[in-house]
Chain A
Amino acid sequence: MSRDAPGAIAEWVEEVDELLPEITLGEIDARPAPHAIPVSGWRRFTNALASILVGVVLAAAIGWVGWQLVQAGDRVLERMVGPDVATTVVATTIAQSPTTVPQPELAWTTYGPLDGLPPGDVTALAGGPDGGVWAAIATDGGVSVVRRGSVGWIVVDAGLEEAVGTPRWLTVTGDGSAWMAVATVEGGERLLGFDGEAWASAVDVDLWGSVTREGPYGQLWVAALDGQLRPIRLERVQGQWLAGRADAGFPLTGVESVGDLEPGALSMRIALDSEGVAWFAADGQVVKFDGRRTGQIESIDDSWVAIGPQRDVWIPTEHGLRRHADGVWTYHDARHGLPGRAPVRGSLRFAGASTWATFRSGGALQAHVYDGETWSESGATPAGFGLEFLPAYGPRIAYTPDHLGGEDDPVWVRSADTWFRLSHPDGAAVQGIGDVCHTPDGTLWMAADGVLRALFVRS
């Protein structure tokens, strides 16, 4: 007789149940604990893999916590004993930690009292003709000036009685003289000159707005307000400070009276070429001056002038740039690959044989580079910042010279066509930059938040 499968299975179960004895609780209680349950090879493998992963995660977490503790320790150390003692720690840490600063190979060094600097706020920097760097420091006892030579920092003069206030700018001329403008407590500025031995009040003029200083041959031109905006040439001749006014054709037109203008509304840009010829830009004009007024060129309202290493003079136009080289003026505009509008004020920079300019493009700044024949686009600058250069490394640095001292992140570094935001070793953005200067060895010197820092770019 044929059986159906479900019925056969039911019968089989009944037979098995009858055949096998019932398992009792007492029997179970009496049994020893069974041996370890065998684990399959695959399960053993997955268990081992999971253990390794957990170990890696734990190690990473411990490393991260340790790193945070080291960072906190650095900050506490710096707060307790000043930035100079933390210098080595900070510089070493940043160089060895790719996670803190994902930038090209950088090394920070911070200088403070233990390095020989008078305690105070570093607010002005200048590169010297010998490749050293000078720094002006506002201290409780007056302004101190230091310079860095081959053996470290040397105090040029400490606690200048003539200067109680904040140094605005500092420049060192080719003959070793130094000039410094110090903001006085009365709200004005005082110009001091250093003849190699002592500082003295150089000239009694009212400096105006954004003072420009140049001086490869011991000359210093400043824009001064004497009822009118005039350039003044400062020189030290036979131990005497001289202030010469370029009165031939000056003042520039249109600046008859400052009236109620806010400080900074007027500005004069001054550039000196390698022959000592001065170019002044203000109020829509650019003027060449080589002892007498020799030319006047129309420019944009907010004009400026830049002089390249080949004595080529660049001024902005409404549609691009105008270049003076070998006695000939040429125009650079949309036909040459430029955007067809005026470049950003003061944005021309020279790096080797290249000339760089930045133009506004929407909310960003677009960099263009000129190789001597054509202009080509070179990408947007980070966060709309203009370009600045470390002379030894080309277009590596971007910051906004017009906004130094702002609260934004003003400094970026470029490496392998990528911009990196420059940050302090603890990860905080570089802020509060008072002054910046370069030295020929490729170091970028920075007075930020009153502290003197040096940044070395090694790649």
Chain B
Amino acid sequence: MGSARNGDEFAQLFPHLRYQLRAVLIAGFGPDAGYAATRDVLAYARHHWVTIRHRHDLVLHLYRLGRRMARRHTMRWDPDPVSAALASLSVGERVAVVLRWGHGWSFDEITEVTGESVAAVHRHHDHGLAKVAAVLRSCDVA
């Protein structure tokens, strides 16, 4: 009964966890590695749900696990200008700009998932967006 109840609880939270982890891991590590890491970390959460279900920082905990899982996969970026621009950013910068402009998250929402301070997220966002703009401008000029 306990197992079933735990399973039901995970199933109820699954869409929420999937959306957040997929968004942040793909933003940080690209489509291939981020997607694979999302599947890995969701599977981990599924099998260890009993021990992690009461964590108040559940998404942050799974994101940190996902970061380590993502590094087991190879990051691959397409040759298009936007992918190339994102590839030139750091993980923190990619997460900040992609979640902010690709998913419309607020800075507070980004800090809740990444565990960074608001100032750090702002800094990553500003630097990352400037770099992306510079890369896109250079592509247009070319």
A residues engaging B (CB < 8 A)? 2-14, 16, 19-20, 23, 25, 27-29, 31-34, 37-40
- CB within 8 A of B31: which of A7, A19, A23? A19
Query: Known contacts being A23-B42, A38-B68, is A28 close to B101, with CB within 8 Å?
Result: no
B76 in contact (CB, < 8 A): no
Determine if B102 and A10 form an interchain contact, defined as CB atoms under 8 angstroms apart: yes
- CB within 8 A of B69: which of A2, A13, A37? A37
| Min CB–CB distance A10 → chain B (angstroms) | 5
Determine if B101 and A9 form an interchain contact, defined as CB atoms under 8 angstroms apart: yes
Determine if B72 and A38 form an interchain contact, defined as CB atoms under 8 angstroms apart: yes
List CB contacts (< 8 Å) of B50-80 with chain A.
Answer: 65, 68-69, 71-72
- CB within 8 A of B14: which of A10, A11, A28, A31? A28
Determine if B35 and A12 form an interchain contact, defined as CB atoms under 8 angstroms apart: no
Determine if A20 and B43 form an interchain contact, defined as CB atoms under 8 angstroms apart: no
Mask: chain B, 64-106; 1 = CB below 8 Å from A; 0 = not? 0100110110000000011101100000000001101111000
Query: Known contacts being A10-B102, A31-B43, is A20 close to B14, with CB within 8 Å?
Result: no
Determine if A13 and B98 form an interchain contact, defined as CB atoms under 8 angstroms apart: yes
The 10 closest A-B pairs by CB, nearest first: A13-B102, A6-B101, A5-B133, A33-B47, A31-B43, A5-B132, A9-B101, A12-B82, A8-B82, A2-B140
| Min CB–CB distance B89 → chain A (angstroms) | 11
Determine if B46 and A27 form an interchain contact, defined as CB atoms under 8 angstroms apart: no
A29: B residues at CB distance < 8 A: 46
Query: Closest residue of chain A to B45, judged by CB?
Result: A28
The A-B contact count (CB < 8 A) is: 85
A20: B residues at CB distance < 8 A: 26, 31, 35
Bound Cα distance A39, B72 (Å): 11
B22 in contact (CB, < 8 A): yes
| Min CB–CB distance A25 → chain B (angstroms) | 5
Bound Cα distance A391, B10 (Å): 83
Query: Known contacts being A13-B98, A16-B26, A23-B22, is A5 close to B46, with CB within 8 Å?
Result: no
Determine if B102 and A9 form an interchain contact, defined as CB atoms under 8 angstroms apart: yes
A37: B residues at CB distance < 8 A: 44, 65, 68-69
B68: A residues at CB distance < 8 A: 37-40
- CB within 8 A of A27: which of B22, B39, B47, B97? B39
B35: A residues at CB distance < 8 A: 20, 23
Determine if B43 and A34 form an interchain contact, defined as CB atoms under 8 angstroms apart: yes
B71: A residues at CB distance < 8 A: 38
A9: B residues at CB distance < 8 A: 82, 86, 97-98, 101-102, 132
B118 in contact (CB, < 8 A): no
Query: Closest residue of chain B to A33, judged by CB?
Result: B47
B136 in contact (CB, < 8 A): yes
Most buried by A among B132, B137, B140: B132
Determine if A2 and B137 form an interchain contact, defined as CB atoms under 8 angstroms apart: yes
Chosen A-B contacts, 18 in total, with CB atoms closer than 8 Å, are A2-B140, A3-B140, A5-B97, A7-B101, A9-B86, A9-B102, A10-B101, A12-B82, A16-B31, A19-B31, A20-B31, A23-B22, A23-B42, A28-B42, A34-B43, A34-B69, A38-B68, A38-B72
B18: A residues at CB distance < 8 A: 23
Determine if B39 and A23 form an interchain contact, defined as CB atoms under 8 angstroms apart: yes
Determine if A8 and B136 form an interchain contact, defined as CB atoms under 8 angstroms apart: yes
Determine if A23 and B38 form an interchain contact, defined as CB atoms under 8 angstroms apart: yes
Bound Cα distance A12, B86 (Å): 10
Query: Closest residue of chain B to A43, judged by CB?
Result: B68
B11 in contact (CB, < 8 A): yes
Determine if B31 and A25 form an interchain contact, defined as CB atoms under 8 angstroms apart: no
| Min CB–CB distance B122 → chain A (angstroms) | 15
A28: B residues at CB distance < 8 A: 14, 39, 42-43, 46
A5: B residues at CB distance < 8 A: 85, 97, 101, 129, 132-133, 136
Bound Cα distance A3, B82 (Å): 10
- CB within 8 A of B39: which of A2, A13, A31? A31
Determine if B11 and A13 form an interchain contact, defined as CB atoms under 8 angstroms apart: no
A12: B residues at CB distance < 8 A: 82-83, 86, 98, 102
Bound Cα distance A233, B8 (Å): 105
B98: A residues at CB distance < 8 A: 9, 12-13
Query: Closest residue of chain A to B31, judged by CB?
Result: A16
Most buried by A among B26, B35, B82, B86: B82
Query: Closest residue of chain A to B72, judged by CB?
Result: A38
A8-B82, A13-B103 are known; give 12 further A-B pairs, CB within 8 A.
A2-B136, A5-B132, A5-B133, A8-B85, A12-B98, A13-B102, A20-B35, A23-B22, A25-B14, A27-B39, A28-B42, A33-B44
Bound Cα distance A4, B85 (Å): 13
Bound Cα distance A37, B62 (Å): 12
Bound Cα distance A4, B43 (Å): 37
A19: B residues at CB distance < 8 A: 31
Bound Cα distance A216, B72 (Å): 94
Bound Cα distance A11, B86 (Å): 13
Bound Cα distance A14, B44 (Å): 27
Bound Cα distance A12, B94 (Å): 12
- CB within 8 A of B129: which of A6, A23, A25, A39? A6
| Min CB–CB distance A15 → chain B (angstroms) | 9
| Min CB–CB distance B8 → chain A (angstroms) | 11
